[in-house]
Amino acid sequence: MDITKTHRVHGGALAYAHHQSAATGTKMTLSVFTPPGEGPFPYLIWLSGLTCTEDNFTTKAGAYEAAARHGVAIVAPDTSPRGEGVADDPAYDLGQGAGFYIDATQAPWAAHFKMESYVTRDLIAAVEAAFPLQARRSILGHSMGGHGALTLAMKHPNLFRGVSAFAPISSPTRCPWGEKAFSAYLGADRETWKAHDSALLIEAGKAKPFDDILIDQGLGDPFLENQLKLDLLEAAAAKAGQKLTLRRHEGYDHSYFFMATYIAEHVAFHAARLG
Q: Which of 196, 254, 266, 270 is catalytic?
A: 254
Residue 37 region by backbone torsions, left for phi larger than 0, else alpha for psi between -120 and 50, else beta: left
Check residue 169 and give its pLDDT.
98
Catalytic, 221? Answer: yes
Q: Which of 170, 221, 266, 270 is catalytic?
A: 221
Q: Which of 25, 30, 59, 60 is nearest to 45 (CA)?
A: 30
Question: Considering the entire predicted model, what is its pTM?
Answer: 0.97
Check residue 112 and give its pLDDT.
98
What's the CA gap between 96 and 53, in Å, rounded?
10
Check residue 25 and give its pLDDT.
98
What's the CA gap between 183 and 274, in Å, rounded?
36
Check residue 236 and give its pLDDT.
98
Check residue 71 and give its pLDDT.
98
User: Contact, 163 vs 173, CB < 8 A?
Assistant: no
Q: Any idea what the CATH number is for the domain that residue 256 is in?
A: 3.40.50.1820
In sequence order, the 6+-apart residues with CB closer than 8 A to the CB of 62 are 260, 263
Check residue 81 and give its pLDDT.
98
Catalytic, 254? Answer: yes
Describe the strand order of the beta sheet including 73-77 as a list of residue ranges.
2-9, 12-20, 27-34, 73-77, 41-47, 133-142, 163-166, 213-218, 244-249
**pLDDT of the chain, 275 residues: tens digit per residue:** 999 999 999 999 999 999 999 999 999 999 999 999 999 999 999 999 999 999 999 999 999 999 999 999 999 999 999 999 999 999 999 999 999 999 999 999 999 999 999 999 999 999 999 999 999 999 999 999 999 999 999 999 999 999 999 999 999 999 999 999 999 999 999 999 999 999 999 999 999 999 999 999 999 999 999 999 999 999 999 999 999 999 999 999 999 999 999 999 999 999 999 99
Check residue 93 and give its pLDDT.
98
Catalytic, 117? Answer: no
Q: Which of 143, 164, 170, 198 is catalytic?
A: 143
Q: What is the DSSP string of the chain?
A: -EEEEEEEETTEEEEEEEEE-TTTSSEEEEEEEE-SSS--EEEEEEE--TT--HHHHHHHS--HHHHHHHT-EEEEE-SS--STT----SSTTSBTTB-TTSB--STTTTTT-BHHHIIIIIIHHHHHHHSSEEEEEEEEEETHHHHHHHHHHHH-TTT-S-EEEES----GGGSHHHHHHHHHHH-S-GGGGGGG-HHHHHHTTTTTT-S-EEEEEETT-TTIIIII-HHHHHHHHHHHT--EEEEEETT--SSHHHHHHHHHHHHHHHHHHH-
Check residue 202 and give its pLDDT.
98
Structural domain count, the chain: 1
Domain that holds residue 227: 2-274
